[in-house]
Each structure stands twice: as C-alpha cells, then as structure tokens.
Structure 1
Amino acid sequence: MSRFIMTAKERLQRGLRIGQMLVHNTGLQRMAAKTPTTPPPPKFVKATQPPPKSSKPPQCPGGEKKRKPGTFASGGQHAVFSDCPKPEGDFIKAWSAKNGRYNLILISGALAAGGTLGYALSSGILCLNWTIPEYPYTEDEMEDFEIEEERRREEKEAREERHQDAVEARELGVRRRRAKVAMEREVDLMQRDMDGGITDAELDELQRLAAEREAFELWEKDELKRLDEQEKERDKIRKEKAKVRAERNKERDRKRKETEAQLEKEEAEREKAREKARKEREKAEKEKQKEKEKAEKEAEKARKAAGN
C-alpha cells in the first residue's frame, strides 16, 4: 500500500513540474507575440558581373582537373554517371563557331587548289596532252597519223553506209511483203468478181489495192534506180580514194627511195672517211715504226762506236 502511495506522489510532482514549464513557455511566447519586433535592415547585394564570353567551345566539366593515372574525374577507378559528358553552354553558338571555322578552311583549301592548278596550266608546268605535240614526231610520223585518221574515218563511213543499206533493205523487204499480201488479196477479189460478183465495199477495196499496187511499183522502180545510182556514186568515190591512196603511196615510196639513197650516200661517204682515216692511221703507225727503227739503229751505232 505504501508503495502505491509513493508512486502516486512522484507522478503528481512530475506532472506539476511539467505544467509549470508549459505555463512558463506559453507566457513567454505570448509576450513575444505582443511586443513588436523591428525588421532587420536590408542588405545591399552587389550586382555580379556576367562571366566573360570565351571563343573556345564549351568543354565537359572536370576536364581541367588533374587526376591520378587510372582514375576517373569522379576520383574512383570505375566510371559512374558523373563521369559522362554533360551539356554546357549554348549548343547552336558552339556549333556555328566550329562550322564557320570549318567552312573557312574548306573555302581556302578549294581556292588554293584552284589557284595552283590554274598557275600550273598557264605557266606550262603541267601538260594535259590535249593535242598531239609537234616534237619529237617527224614528217613521216605525222603523215602516218594522218593516214591512220583517214582510215578510221573511212571505217566510220563504211559502218554508216552498211547501217543505211540495212535500214533501206529492211524497209524494201517490209513493203514488198505487204505488196505481196495485197496482191494475193487483190487476186482473190478479182477471182470472186469474175465468179459471182462482189459487194460495193469489196469493190472499193479492190480499187484501193490496185492503186496501192501501182504506187508501190512506181516507188520500187524509183527506189531501185536510186540504189543503183547510190552504188555507182559510192564506187566512184571509192575509186577516187583508191587513186589518191595510190598516188600517196607512190609519193611515199619515192620519198622513201630518195631517203634511202641519201642515207646510202651518207653511209658511203662516212665509210670513205673511215677508210681514209684508217689509211692515215696506218701510214702514221708505219712512219712511227720507221722512226723507232731508225732511232734503234742510231743507238746501236752509237753503242758500237763507244765500245771501240
């Protein structure tokens, strides 16, 4: 019983102390709310100047810090998300600055290349061999070039003539086949007309076929005549070309013979000069040998005279 009384007394005292503390704190708060407080004076903050603009493109953070070998910007030995590049600054401005510099390099390189090529072509340092140079080709070689060019031109003309002949022959064959079919139809209509008669439409067709046959016969006659004249003209042109070619070959043979004769004459003169030089050399050697023998005889005579 006494234990319960002591416990109740302690709880009562503790409750009184807590109540006094609450009353004291509440009174202080009310007094603080009633008394007006003056606001602190405003602080003047200096305006910060904007950072200076740099012409360099934005860089990733942490690029300027020196780190130990084998470590990342975050300080660890393994990469984390903080080590990834982060966008910084205006992308359009940085891209425009880089692109302007690249365009300037491209334009300057193109102008330098064009100027170098133009100077090389104008000064003659670079030759593109657009034309056949005069040197070191001789007249005979130039004539060979002309003959080769003429041969190629004749081959081209011959190919064109063969193509034209093939086209004309094909057209003539087609029209002849059509005329043959029309002739068979005309014969059939004429036979039917003689046997039992034909209608007005078939009569008109028969008259049309007869007119077309007559027109084809006239055209075929003119076409064959034209082809014969064309062949004669081609033969005439071929004969003229063959005549010109023969004259040219004859002239070339004459020039070649003259050149060969001139070369033989020059070779004979050179051989004659070599023979003359050889004889003079042999004569000089003989004279030298005689002088040597004479000197030996005189030396022998002098030696004998000295011995006596």
Structure 2
Amino acid sequence: MSISLSRRALLAMLGAAALAPAYGQDPYPNKPVTIVVPFAVGGSTDLVARLIGDQLGAALGQPAIVTNRTGGGGVVGWSNVARAQPDGYTLLTTEMSFAIAPGLVSNLPFDAKKDFTHITTAVQVPHVLVVNPKVPAKTVQELIALAKEKPGQLFYGSGGNGTNTHLAAELFKDSAGDLDIVHVPYKGAGAVLADLMGGQVQMLITSLPTALPHIQSGKLRALMIASDKRSPALPDVPSAPEVGLPRMDIKFWIGFAAPAGTPQAAIDKLNQSIIATLRLPASQERLGQMGLETIGNTPAEATQLVDQEMSRWADVVKQRGIKVD
C-alpha cells in the first residue's frame, strides 16, 4: 500500500515538473510593447507608427505604446533600441535616415547592420521634385536647361545636411550632368516650404505627402515623381524614367526593427501582426489618404531593402562629398 502511494506521489511530482514550464512561461507577448520613434511627434514616421500602434495592440493582445526619443538626427532613438533587451518588447521605426546614417556618420554608437533585426517594411511613398511656380520651367528638362544656363543662380532647399531631401537633390544634380544648383539647408523639410513658396529657394525634392497639399493648391509645381512609375495622387506628373532620369527612383519607406538577438518567434509574431494591421480597411483608407503605399514584406525582404539602401546612399555621400555639420 505504501509502495503504491509512493509511486503515485512520484508520478504526481514528475507530472507537475513537466507541466511547470508550460505554466511558468507565458506566450509572447505578455506585457506592453514599446515602439520607439526617433523623431518628433507629427512627422510621417510618427504618424505611421501611431496609426499602426493603435491597431497593433489588438493583433498582439497587448498594448503597443509609441514613444518619441528624439535627438542627433535620429541617433538617440536608434541607440536606445540598439541597447534595449532583445526580448521583443522594444521596437524601432526605421526609415531612409536610418539607412543614410552609416554612410554619413563615421562614429555612430552602434552597428547599423549588426545591432538590429528587421521585422517588415510597412509603407513606402515616392519623392516628388517641386519648384516655385514662378520658375520658368514647366518640365524637368527645362529645369536642367535653366540650371545649365544660370550656374550657381538657382537654389534648392533641404531639411538639413545629410537628410533625404539633401541627398535626393544631390543625386538629381549628379544624374542630370553635375548641375550647379546651390544647397540651402533648413531645420526640417517643413521649414523649406515657406521659403520655397516665397521664392527664396526655387526647388525641393521631398516625400509626396509633404508637398502634395501645396501642389494641389497651386502653390508649388510638380515636375517629376521620383519613382519608377507615376503616382495615382498626381497622374499627370511624369515618372523619373519618363524624363530620362531612371536613377531618381527614390522612395521614402518606413519599417520596423528590433534589437539583434530578439527571438525568431517574436519577430515572426510581430511580422504577422503588423501585416494584419496594415491590411485592415481602416488602415488602408488612412494610409491612402496620406499618399502611402502599404508593403508588409518578410523580415528577409525588409533586411535586403535596408542593406541595399545603405549601400546606395553611402555611394551618393561619397560621390558628392557630403559632410554633416
């Protein structure tokens, strides 16, 4: 009798031990997820992060909290996530500046290729070349001819040295035959718009959502969609290949990443959940209103895109001799 009881007790103990991990380890996620935006509230990256974050909580079963960690042109936010625990609870919004930085800043406090695992590219949108309506150029070719006729007399604005608006314009100058158009850096692409519409600078290449309202109001003239195809938002504006500048396929993209070493199961769960969020009718409608195209690719595809962008912009920085302040 005592032997039987002992065996039962032993079996019960072994059963409890076997079940303990299942009850002791809650499935991912079991607490809120933080999404770090390295830029200020209200920008394109912040708006997309908040739009997705609002819906992502339902897909994950836990809140997704967006926090802005600004400074250093993105370096503060990027560094914060690079140092975070690789447990799937701290995410980073990535975009063009993240891919530009390694070729531009020699002493980044992290390794942009090794310290992050990419989850997905969420959205993309083309850039657009716009000019002040008083500029006597109705086409890109006329603008190129004008720049050659008046070297050093035309000015383009950018959101600052090393930004996407700066590098895009330098790529345009190079692609069009090393044009002499003078760079005027501002603190943010939004700051350029007032002077562009006022005529202090004549040209800007920026993401489509930034310029679209001013194009539609007639305050700016769009000469080219910097993409391999036309945009439904501006169907009458030619694409880069149509004007003979195929290198000017420049898409502003926003993605999500996590610290390197994050478990693959968490990366896969996040990938599936973000894609599900992107496919919601409400998300599609809002992103469409912003002029954004949804992507939702795999982690491998997102990684390939970032690697290609890093290589591309490093070449532009080197070829054009671009330096940061």
TM bin (shorter chain): under 0.3
Higher RCO (C-alpha under 8 Å, 6+ residues apart): 2
**Of Structure 1 and Structure 2, which has the larger fraction of its residues in strand?**
2
**Of Structure 1 and Structure 2, which has the larger fraction of its residues in helix?**
1
Whose radius of gyration is greater, 1 or 2? 1
State the TM-score, normalizing by the size of structure 2. 0.17
